[in-house]
């Protein structure tokens, strides 16, 4: 556009230029349509940015008025998910919807889906959002998971031979980033964990699962469109600290056959779910080459943030394409990458003094800050993706940066 030319506004209303319409499927939403997202954290903000880039508008609904994605929304709704009036208003204003975290009330998801397409569906969400239902579903579909048992009431907390020690007791709902997890090394820990759970007022049920002495943690993003077309991203390798994802390396340094099997398992999971959307399947790679699924997310995932800078089409753009009924994009890795999360006051260390200009000047480093106003312990404040020509370039640069964070 030449300088001073008037801003053209027609794409901001739900009309579609004929050149676009002629190339889209009948189910595709036209540019200018409003897509809705439940949850307004960084994942919602990245979805909002991708939504805008493809010419859609975006409505963000999050109970927390400070949620960062609300600031990027065409329509920002800071009200509880249980608000019936907001639900009516939201479903009237959006043409299709998705969510950026799994703890959306199932009733809200079903009520939305009764009016507009929700991708992934409320049924998929219900299976995913309860750890116990998820593990039961996966094992019933022949997907390998760690041996587990359901604990419905605290007095039932016993460790069977199948599960064995060491094991983890995890809350079935609302646990994330290692929260809501207790480790039991020996039978002597049973009383202590029972007491901790009682004191924490923790509500059951819980999943008791064998602690797996894995060699590596891997994850795979799989995207399935409304037309059943699908894309598989490369296998990545993840490192956690205190239960929170710290580093993602792509491609994972694993045998080619392991990578192929990991992708096959991930696709089998999404097939079993009949899922339409972006899914992340987290896996444990055992020293003998065996793979177990740890958990499945029915949304873009922190371990897929590298796709923003290192892939032809990011996980967030795929999410927009799925929700908008557009063809999926290519999931090609353009270069090796390493992503480092900025957790809690990492963000202060990474951006203090000369560090910020140095980081910004660094070749291949891409900084993402989430704009969260308050720094809290364990809170994801941003991430940096290091791109390399060769896998070792990205790894070395990320290692130096990580060491600098202390």
Chain residues that interact with ligand AMP, rule: CB under 6 A: 146, 168, 170, 175, 178, 209, 211-212, 217, 240, 243, 294-295
> 146 or 343, CB closer to ligand AMP?
146
Minimal CA–CA distance to 11: which of 135, 19, 212? 19
> 72 or 303, CB closer to ligand AMP?
303
The distance of closest approach from Cβ of residue 168 to ligand AMP in the complex, given in angstroms and rounded to an integer, is 5
The distance of closest approach from Cβ of residue 298 to ligand AMP in the complex, given in angstroms and rounded to an integer, is 14
Inter-CA distances, 283 with 109, 126, 280, 289, 324, Å: 27, 21, 10, 12, 29
Q: Is the peptide bond before 120 cis (omega within 30 degrees of 0)?
A: yes
> 212 or 254, CB closer to ligand AMP?
212
Buried b (16+ CB within 10 A) or exposed e, 59-75: bbbbbeeebbbbebbbb
> 231 or 249, CB closer to ligand AMP?
249
The distance of closest approach from Cβ of residue 190 to ligand AMP in the complex, given in angstroms and rounded to an integer, is 18
The distance of closest approach from Cβ of residue 260 to ligand AMP in the complex, given in angstroms and rounded to an integer, is 22
The distance of closest approach from Cβ of residue 36 to ligand AMP in the complex, given in angstroms and rounded to an integer, is 27
Largest CA distance in the chain: 75
Minimal CA–CA distance to 319: which of 309, 335, 332, 304? 304
> 101 or 211, CB closer to ligand AMP?
211
- The string of DSSP codes covering 318-329 is HHHHHHHTPPPP
The distance of closest approach from Cβ of residue 70 to ligand AMP in the complex, given in angstroms and rounded to an integer, is 26
* Residue recorded with tokens 């991430």: 383
Cα distance between residue 218 and residue 178, in whole Å: 16
Query: Which residue's Cβ lies closest to ligand AMP?
Result: 212
Cα distance between residue 295 and residue 159, in whole Å: 21
The distance of closest approach from Cβ of residue 181 to ligand AMP in the complex, given in angstroms and rounded to an integer, is 6
SS3 97: strand
Task: Spell out the residues 6+ positions from residue 154 whose beta carbon is closer than 8 angstroms to its own.
Answer: 194, 197, 198, 204
SS3 content of the chain, % helix, strand, coil (to 5): 35, 25, 40
The distance of closest approach from Cβ of residue 243 to ligand AMP in the complex, given in angstroms and rounded to an integer, is 5
Cα distance between residue 343 and residue 345, in whole Å: 6
């Amino acid at each position: 556009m030449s300088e001073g030319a008037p801003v053209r506004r027609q794409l901001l209303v739900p009309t579609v230029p004929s050149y676009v319409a002629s190339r889209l499927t009948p189910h595709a939403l036209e540019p200018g349509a409003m897509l809705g997202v439940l949850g307004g954290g960084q994942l919602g903000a990245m979805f909002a940015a991708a939504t805008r880039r493809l010419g859609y508008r975006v409505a963000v609904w999050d109970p927390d008025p400070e949620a960062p994605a609300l600031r990027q929304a065409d329509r920002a709704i800071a009200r509880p998910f249980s608000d019936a009036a907001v639900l009516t208003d939201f479903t009237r204003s959006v043409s299709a919807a998705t969510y950026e975290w799994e703890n959306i009330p199932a009733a809200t998801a079903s009520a939305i889906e009764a009016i507009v397409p929700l991708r992934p569906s409320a049924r998929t969400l219900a299976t995913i959002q309860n750890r116990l239902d998820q593990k039961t579903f996966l094992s019933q579909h022949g997907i390998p998971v760690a041996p587990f048992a359901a604990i419905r009431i605290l007095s039932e907390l016993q460790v069977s031979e199948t599960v064995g020690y060491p094991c983890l007791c995890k809350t079935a709902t609302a646990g994330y980033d290692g929260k809501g997890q207790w480790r039991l090394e020996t039978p002597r820990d049973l009383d202590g964990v029972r007491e901790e759970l009682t004191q924490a007022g923790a509500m059951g049920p819980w999943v008791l699962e064998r602690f797996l002495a894995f060699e590596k943690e891997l994850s795979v993003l799989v995207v399935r469109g409304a037309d059943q077309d699908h894309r598989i991203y490369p296998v990545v390798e993840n490192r956690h600290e205190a239960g929170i994802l710290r580093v993602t390396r792509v491609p994972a340094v694993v045998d080619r056959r392991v990578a192929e099997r990991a992708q096959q398992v991930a696709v089998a999971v999404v097939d079993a779910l009949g899922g339409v959307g972006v899914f992340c399947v987290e896996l444990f790679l055992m020293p003998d080459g065996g793979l177990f699924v740890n958990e499945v997310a029915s949304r873009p995932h922190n371990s897929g943030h590298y796709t923003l800078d290192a892939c032809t089409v990011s996980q967030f753009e795929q999410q927009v394409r799925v929700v908008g009924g557009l063809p999926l994009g290519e999931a090609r890795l353009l270069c090796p990458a390493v992503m480092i999360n900025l957790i809690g006051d990492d963000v202060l260390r990474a951006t203090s003094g000369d560090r910020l200009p140095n980081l910004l000047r660094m070749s291949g480093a891409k900084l993402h800050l989430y704009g969260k106003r308050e720094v809290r312990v364990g809170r994801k404040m941003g991430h940096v993706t290091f791109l390399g020509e060769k896998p070792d370039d990205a790894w070395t640069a990320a290692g130096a940066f990580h060491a600098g964070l202390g």
